[in-house]
């Protein structure tokens, strides 16, 4: 096809021990919104890194407008008209929007001119943004707009977007999609990376599906059902988690007027959070990243102390108690960051099992470690949660993200908590591992535990939680039963479209 904007063929990249991409090829037409669909570890990131000049392919060719294209670095890619918005933003919190944009340009125009340009572009594409604001004060959605505008100022022919909606409320997703459709109508091609099927079906013209580094298919997503796409992506059909019917019991955990000052600059202050949690119940807490999720987990785990009465567990005030005391009472947590927070990367799985299991699993007596028992507990987790690893003596960092997450969740679930708090339990985890983690949480609740699931994945929360609330700027919305919520209502609970008032200013 001579008309293709970007044409890939036979792209292969191997890392030691892993084939990230094997013989991948497809075409992107000008003005096309092309989805790159695949599970975590399917090779999406490596592929776009090759297009963006961050990684050189081992073999294979790329052509851009029929000219061989092999960018040596991102500068070369940008010069050729390829721009990329990363999932993790590279912005300086302490600088203004305009300053951040200027830093990404080779020859930035004078500040005033640039500010005007930013305003123009932001108006033209419906991306409200005030160039004078400090980035540290912006919401995740607004930060993404900074990144997008930075790209648009270069007038790209191809815009790559890596999981752009993971940090957006449903309302913000709508705004973004309008912008992308407008760009596409003007002839800009968009390579859209995601694993969210409904989004892809509504937005993208074409989808290329990757599985284990290989291209499975290129299709028109609107003509397929979400289930068909999922099956192509995962390679097998997934069983949705089963819910056992059960009635919630007595109150296990009460949080009363919890207020915590941020521990770092541009951190989030938790404000007057109150809720109660009953036996057998799963409370889903949604919200865009950076709205107090980490702070809430730290307050519940005991890493940050509060007034004793702010957190009451089965009648005992535990707010002033550290993590060990809370664990002894059956309040267990699993933080979002697996490496370095929930687990020590350099330590073995046995040692990591000991990390939180020492007391409840009686792995330590009088300060002396029973290594045999610790190893036994690690093996128990590995076996029960199907953690793929040669054995418990392997360092945690050697495990894939999904396997380590199964280990971390399994470690807490198997300690029979009364209350379990998890943050992003399936983040970066492949679909089958995610399904098994959700099933484990549902089973735990059915057996009488109470669970708080903090997550940015709304589908996940709708699937497993009985009640739902959203964190927005450190405040918790009223709690509603999940069954009678609409997507619009959820979006409003998450704070609607952040920063829209600027649009009219």
Partner 1 sequence: MLKIEKRASPSKTWNWAAPIMAVALTMIVGGALFGLLGVNPFQAIAKIFYEPLFGEYAFYYRPQLMIKAAPLVLIAIGLSMGFRAGIWNIGAEGQYIMGALSGAGLALALYPMELPILLPLMVIAGALGGMLWGLIPGYLKVKFGTNEILVSLMLVYVAEQILASMALGLMKNPEGMGFPGSRNLQQYPSAHNAEIFAGSGMHWGVAAALIAVIFAYVMLTRHMFGFQLRLSGIAPRAAKFAGVDPGRMILICMGLSGALAGMAGLFEIAGPAGQVSIDFNVGYGFTAIIVAFLGRLNPIGILLAGLLLAITYVGGEITQSQMGLPLAAIQLFQGMLLFFLLAMDMLTNYRFRRSTKEAV
- Between CA 239 and CA 119 the distance in angstroms is 48
Among 80, 212, 238, 344, binds partner 1 (CB under 8 A): 344
Contact code string over 398-437 relative to partner 1, x by CB under 8 A: x---------------------------------------
Spatial distance between the Cα atoms of 403 and 22, rounded to a whole number of angstroms: 23
Task: Please report, as residue ranges, which positions from 139 to 168 form the binding site for partner 1 (by CB under 8 A).
Answer: none
Residues 6 or more apart whose Cβ sits within 8 Å of residue 500: 128
- Which of 32, 142, 281, 351 forms a contact with partner 1 (CB under 8 A)? 351
Q: How far is CA 338 from CA 67, 368, 408, in A?
A: 43, 27, 7
The reply on whether position 438 binds partner 1 by CB under 8 A is: no
Give the range of 94-102, 241-249, 393-401, 477-485 binding partner 1 by CB under 8 A: 393-401
From 148-156, 200-208, 210-218, 301-309, give the range in contact with partner 1 by CB under 8 A.
301-309
Closest CA to 495 of 477, 481, 478: 477
The binding track of 215-254 with respect to partner 1, each residue x by CB under 8 A or -, is ----------------------------------------
**Options 33-41, 108-116, 208-216, 332-340: segment touching partner 1 (CB under 8 A):** 332-340
Helix, strand, coil fractions of the chain, as percent rounded to 5? 35, 25, 40
259: tokens are 């207020």
The answer to whether residue 41 forms part of the interface with partner 1 (CB under 8 A) is no
Query: Which residue number, 395 or 446, has a Cβ lying nearer to partner 1?
Result: 395
Stretch binding partner 1 (CB under 8 A), from 84-92, 159-167, 366-374, 468-476: 366-374
- 356 sits near partner 1 (criterion: CB under 8 A): yes
When binding is defined by CB under 8 A, the residue of 38, 43, 57, 290 that contacts partner 1 is: 57
Options 184-192, 235-243, 360-368, 469-477: segment touching partner 1 (CB under 8 A): 360-368
Q: Choose the binding region for partner 1 from 34-42, 225-233, 356-364, 490-498 (rule: CB under 8 A).
A: 356-364
| Single residue of 145, 327, 438, 467 touching partner 1 by CB under 8 A | 327
How near is the Cβ of 332 to partner 1 at its closest, in Å?
11
Beta carbon nearer to partner 1, 269 or 397 = 397
Neighbour tally for 264: CB within 10 Å: 6
At closest approach, how far in Å is the CB of 282 from partner 1? 22
Helical packing angle, 170-185 and 140-152, nearest 10°: 10
**In the complex, minimum distance from the CB of residue 219 to partner 1, in angstroms, rounded to a whole number:** 29
Mapping DSSP onto H, E and C, the string for 283-316 reads: EEEECCCCCCHHHHHHHHHCCCCCCHHHEEECCE
User: Which is nearer to partner 1, 358 or 465 (by Cβ)?
Assistant: 358
Beta bridge partners of 62: 8
- Our measurement of the distance from residue 211's CA atom to the centroid of its chain's CA atoms, rounded to an integer in Å, reads 20
State the virtual CA torsion across 387, 391, 393, 398 in degrees, nearest 10: -50
The verdict on 475 binding partner 1 (CB under 8 A) reads: no
Q: How far apart are CA 309 and CA 493, in angstroms?
A: 27
Q: Are strands 18-28 and 67-68 parallel, antiparallel or unpaired?
A: unpaired
Q: How far apart are CA 90 and CA 162, in angstroms?
A: 13
Per rule CB under 8 A, is residue 369 in the interface with partner 1? yes
Nearer to partner 1, 219 or 394 (CB): 394
Buried b / exposed e along 131-142 (16+ C-beta atoms within 10 A): bebebeebbbbb
Count the site residues for partner 1 by CB under 8 A: 38
| Structural contact between residues 261 and 236, judged by C-beta atoms closer than 8 angstroms | no
Cα Rg, the chain, nearest whole Å? 24
1: number of Cβ within 10 Å: 7
Q: Which is nearer to partner 1, 254 or 303 (CB)?
A: 303
* Nearest distance from C-beta of residue 445 to partner 1, angstroms: 23
CB of 53 to partner 1, least distance (A): 10
Q: How many CB atoms lie within 10 A of CB 120?
A: 11
Question: Contact residues for partner 1 (CB under 8 A)?
Answer: 16-17, 56-58, 70, 301-303, 322-324, 327, 333, 335, 337, 340-347, 351, 354-356, 358, 364, 367-369, 371, 394-395, 397-398
């Amino acid at each position: 096809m001579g008309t293709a904007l970007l044409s890939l063929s036979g792209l292969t990249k191997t890392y030691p021990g892993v084939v990230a991409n094997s013989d991948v090829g497809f075409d992107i037409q000008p003005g096309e919104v092309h989805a790159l669909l695949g599970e975590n570890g399917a090779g999406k990131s490596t592929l776009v890194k090759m297009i963006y000049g961050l990684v050189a392919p081992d073999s294979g060719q790329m052509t851009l407008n029929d000219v061989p294209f092999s960018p040596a670095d991102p500068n070369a890619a940008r010069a050729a008209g390829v721009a990329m918005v990363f999932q993790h933003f590279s912005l300086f919190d302490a600088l203004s929007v305009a300053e951040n944009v200027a830093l990404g340009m080779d020859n930035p125009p004078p500040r005033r001119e640039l500010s005007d340009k930013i305003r123009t572009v932001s108006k033209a594409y419906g991306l409200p943004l005030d160039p004078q604001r400090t980035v540290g004060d912006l919401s995740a959605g607004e930060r993404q707009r900074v990144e997008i505008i930075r790209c648009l100022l270069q007038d790209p022919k191809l815009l790559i977007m890596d999981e752009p909606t993971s940090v957006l409320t449903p309302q913000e997703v709508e705004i973004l999609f309008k912008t992308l459709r407008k760009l596409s109508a003007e002839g800009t091609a968009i390579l859209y990376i995601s694993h969210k099927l409904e989004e892809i079906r509504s937005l993208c013209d074409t989808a290329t599906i990757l599985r284990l580094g290989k291209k499975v298919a290129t299709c028109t997503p609107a003509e397929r059902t979400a289930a068909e796409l999922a099956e192509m992506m995962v390679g097998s059909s997934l069983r949705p988690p089963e819910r056992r019917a059960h009635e919630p019991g007595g109150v296990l955990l009460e949080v009363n007027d919890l207020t915590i000052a941020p521990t770092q600059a541009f951190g989030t202050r938790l404000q007057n959070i109150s809720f109660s949690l009953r036996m057998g119940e799963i409370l889903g807490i949604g919200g865009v990243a950076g709205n107090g999720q980490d702070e809430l987990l730290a307050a519940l785990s005991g890493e940050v102390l509060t007034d004793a009465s702010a957190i009451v567990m089965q009648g005992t005030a535990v707010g002033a108690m550290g993590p060990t005391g809370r664990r002894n009472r059956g309040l267990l947590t699993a933080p979002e960051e697996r490496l370095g927070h929930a687990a020590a990367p350099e330590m073995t799985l046995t040692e990591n099992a000991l990390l939180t299991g020492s007391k409840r699993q009686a792995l330590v007596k009088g300060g002396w470690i029973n290594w045999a028992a610790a190893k036994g507990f690690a093996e128990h987790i590995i076996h029960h949660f199907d953690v793929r690893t040669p054995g418990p003596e392997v360092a945690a960092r050697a495990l894939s993200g999904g396997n380590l997450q199964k280990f971390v969740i399994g470690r807490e679930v198997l300690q029979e908590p009364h209350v379990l708090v998890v943050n992003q339990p399936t983040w970066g985890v492949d679909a089958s591992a995610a399904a098994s983690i959700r099933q484990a949480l549902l089973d735990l609740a059915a057996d009488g535990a109470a669970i708080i699931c903090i997550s940015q994945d709304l589908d996940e929360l709708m699937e497993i939680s009985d009640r739902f609330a959203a964190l927005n700027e450190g405040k918790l919305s009223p709690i509603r039963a999940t069954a009678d919520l609409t997507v619009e209502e959820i979006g409003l609970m998450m704070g609607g479209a952040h920063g829209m008032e600027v649009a009219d200013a």
